[in-house]
Amino acid sequence: MIKNYEIEVEDEKILNELDNLCGVSQNKEVLKDLITYIKLKQNNEINFGNYNIIIRNDSSYNLLNDFLKVCTKILKKYNIIENEMICYLDKIDSNRKEILDKIVEIEDSIIVINERKIRIEYADEIEKLNNVMKQCPKKVFIFEDTNFREGEADAELGELATWRMKIEKISLEDKITYCKNKFDENNLKYKKQDLKEFADVPFWVLKNIITKLIINCKSKNIDSITKEILNENKEAIEKSKTKKESEKHDKQIEKNAKEQLNALIGLKDIKSQMEKILNYIKLNKQREKMPTLHMCFTGNPGTGKTSIARIIGKLFEEEEILSSGGNFVEIHARDLVGKYVGWTSQKVHDIVQDAIGGVLFIDEAYSLVADRRGSFEDEAIATLIKEMEDHRDEICIILAGYTDEMENLIKLNPGFESRIQFTINFPDYNEEELLSIFTDLCKKENYKLSNTCKEILINNFNNAKNSENFGNGRYARNLFEKIKFEQANRIVKTNSKFINTIIKSDVENVINSMPLNTNEKRVIGFCS
C-alpha cells in the first residue's frame, strides 16, 4: 500500500496564513517540503537531517515572530514540539557565557539564536551547540542570519540546521497585496489602480494608515474607498508622522554627544572631568560670567584626545554654548606657520576664523617652540594667543601633545597659561581596554574573533604598551588592519568557508612579524 504524503486540508489552512504576511510567502513551498519530511521521518522512510532552520532575515521590520507563529503551528500539529512558545535568546537576562547552558531549562519549544545580538561564536561553539541540541530533542532551533552575506550562516552551522528559509525586504507589491487583503477582509470596495501610489510608504506607516482608514469607514458606514479618501488618510498620517519624527530627532540630538562620550572605551576619569567642565560652563553662563573655553590636552598618541575634542564641539553646540553645530577643525601646529615674512599672522587668523563657533584642535602644539626668538613660530604663538583672547566666547581652542613638551610650551609662553581654562591629562590604555578596542573593530566589520586569540592579544598589548613610541588605540587599529590582511590571505589559500573568522594563526603570524622596538626615541619638532 502506497502511503499518502499529500498536504492535508488543515495544513493548507495554516500555510495560507503566510499570504497575509509580507516578505515570507516564498517559504510556503519549503514548509510543504518540511511537512512531507516530517511524515517520511515519522514513518521511518528517511533517517537524516533535523527540524532546525536557518532564516536569512533581510527585512528591517519585525516579521520573524509572525512567521515563526505559523511554523510552530505545523511543528506542534505533528508533535515535533511540546508547545508553541518562542524564546529569543538575546532577550534572556543572563550572562553571555551562561546563555547556552540555560537552554535546557527553558520551557519554550522554539529557540531563536541571533549571533549578532548575543555574539555566539559558531566556529568555537559548534560542539557545545550540538550537545545542547541532543539534550533538547523536543526543541527546534532557529538561527536568524542578519549578516547580509549570502550563505555565511550555512557555512558555519553545517549539519546543525537542515532547512533554509528567507524573509525578504518588503516590496511595493507586498504592500499592495497587504492593502487588498485588509480591504477584502472588511468588505470594502476599491480600485486596484488607486493602491499603487497609496501603498508606496514605509510598511509601518502603511499599517497605521490602513487601521485608521478601516475604522473611519466602518464608523461612518462607508463601503467604498475612493482615491480621495485614500489620499486624505495618507496625508493625515504622514503629517502626524513627520511631527513625531521631528520631535524624536530633536531628543536624539540632545543626547547624541553624551552617548558618544559614554560609548568610548576606557577614559573613565576623562568622562568625569568633561561632565564637571560642562556643568561649570553652563552654570557660569547662567550667571552671565562666561568662562574661557580653551583647553590643553596632554598625553601619548592614540589616547583619545582627538575623539574627545570632536565630542566637545557637539556637546557645546547641544548645550547652546557654541553655535556651529559642532564644527571641528583639526590641524598640526606646523599648519599655523607661513613660509614667508608676514604670512604666518594671516594664516593663524584664517584658520581660527574657519573654526569660529566650534573647536580648533591643534595637535603637537609643542612644535611651535623655536630655537631662536623672532622666528615664524614665535609669530604664530603671539597671533594665536591674541585670537584666543579676541574670540574667547566664540571658539574652543585645544592645544594637544606629549605631557612634558606641552608643559614646556606653556611655561615658555605665559600668555597661554592665562587663557587656557582646563588642562586634561590622557592616560595610556591598559591591555584590557586595548582588547576592547580591538574587539569593537571586529564587531563593526562583522569579523568573529576566536576565543583562542584573546590571550595572545592581551599578552601582546601588555608588551607593546611598555615600548617606545607606543600608539595606544592607534596601535590596536593598526594591528587589526594587519590581521585582516593576514586572515584574507589564509582564507583564499585554504579555501575556508569561515570567511569572517579570525583564528589564532592569523594573530600569531602578524605579531611575530612585528618585533617591538624599545630603542626608538621620540622626534620632537619638525622633521623633513
Domain CATH number, residue 304: 3.40.50.300
Task: Note whether 236 and 322 are same-domain residues.
Answer: no
The predicted-structure confidence for 215-248, as pLDDT tens digits, reads as follows 888 888 998 988 888 888 777 655 655 544 554 4
Task: Note whether 161 and 279 are same-domain residues.
Answer: no
Helix (H, G, I), strand (E, B) or coil at 165: strand
DSSP symbols for 6-69? PPPHHHHHHHGGGGGSTT-GGGHHHHHHHHHHHHHHHTTS-----S-EEEEE--SSS-HHHHHH
Task: Note whether 179 and 156 are same-domain residues.
Answer: no
Establish if 84 belongs to a structural domain.
yes
User: How much is the average pLDDT of 443-451?
Assistant: 90
Q: What is the C-alpha separation between 194 and 174, in angstroms, rounded?
A: 15
Task: Note whether 56 and 144 are same-domain residues.
Answer: yes
Write down the pLDDT at residue 229: 86
Q: Provide long-range contacts, Cβ within 8 A and 24+ apart, for 430-436.
A: 430/266, 430/465, 431/458, 431/461, 431/462, 431/465, 432/458, 433/265, 433/266, 434/461, 434/465, 434/472, 434/473, 434/475, 434/476, 435/461, 436/265, 436/266
Per-residue pLDDT band at 437 (split at 50, 70, 90): very high
Cβ(301)–Cβ(405) below 8 Å: no
Per-residue pLDDT band at 1 (split at 50, 70, 90): very low
Write down the pLDDT at residue 127: 80
Residue among 306, 300, 305, 304 nearest 464 (CA): 300
User: How much is the average pLDDT of 435-443?
Assistant: 93
The predicted-structure confidence for 255-286, as pLDDT tens digits, reads as follows 478 888 888 888 889 999 999 999 999 888 88
Write down the pLDDT at residue 521: 39
Write down the pLDDT at residue 519: 43
State yes or no: pLDDT of 19 exceeds 90: no
Q: Which residues on adjacent β-strands are paired with residue 86?
A: 110
User: What's the grid cell of residue 336?
Assistant: 599655523
- The residue type of 315 is L
Task: Note whether 338 and 352 are same-domain residues.
Answer: yes
Helix axes 504-512, 473-494, angle to 10 degrees: 120
Write down the pLDDT at residue 259: 84
User: How much is the average pLDDT of 440-462?
Assistant: 91
Task: Note whether 177 and 161 are same-domain residues.
Answer: no
Write down the pLDDT at residue 360: 94
Number of domains in the chain: 4
In eight-state DSSP terms, residue 413 is -
Calculate the average pLDDT of the chain.
Answer: 83
Task: Note whether 18 and 159 are same-domain residues.
Answer: yes
User: How much is the average pLDDT of 339-367?
Assistant: 87
Task: Note whether 413 and 451 are same-domain residues.
Answer: no
State yes or no: pLDDT of 158 exceeds 80: no
State yes or no: pLDDT of 124 exceeds 80: no
State yes or no: pLDDT of 509 exceeds 60: yes
Task: Note whether 30 and 74 are same-domain residues.
Answer: yes
Q: What is the C-alpha separation between 348 and 330, in angstroms, rounded?
A: 13
Torsion angle, CA of 496/54/441/250, rounded to 10 degrees? 160
Write down the pLDDT at residue 121: 66
Helix (H, G, I), strand (E, B) or coil at 163: strand
Q: What is the C-alpha separation between 359 and 397, in angstroms, rounded?
A: 6
User: What's the grid cell of residue 176?
Assistant: 499592495
Per-residue pLDDT band at 511 (split at 50, 70, 90): very high
% of the chain exceeding 70 in pLDDT: 86
Task: Note whether 333 and 415 are same-domain residues.
Answer: yes
- The residue type of 127 is E
The predicted-structure confidence for 472-496, as pLDDT tens digits, reads as follows 898 999 999 999 999 999 999 998 8
Q: What is the C-alpha separation between 297 and 399, in angstroms, rounded?
A: 6
> Which residue range is the domain that position 50 belongs to?
9-167
- The residue type of 507 is V
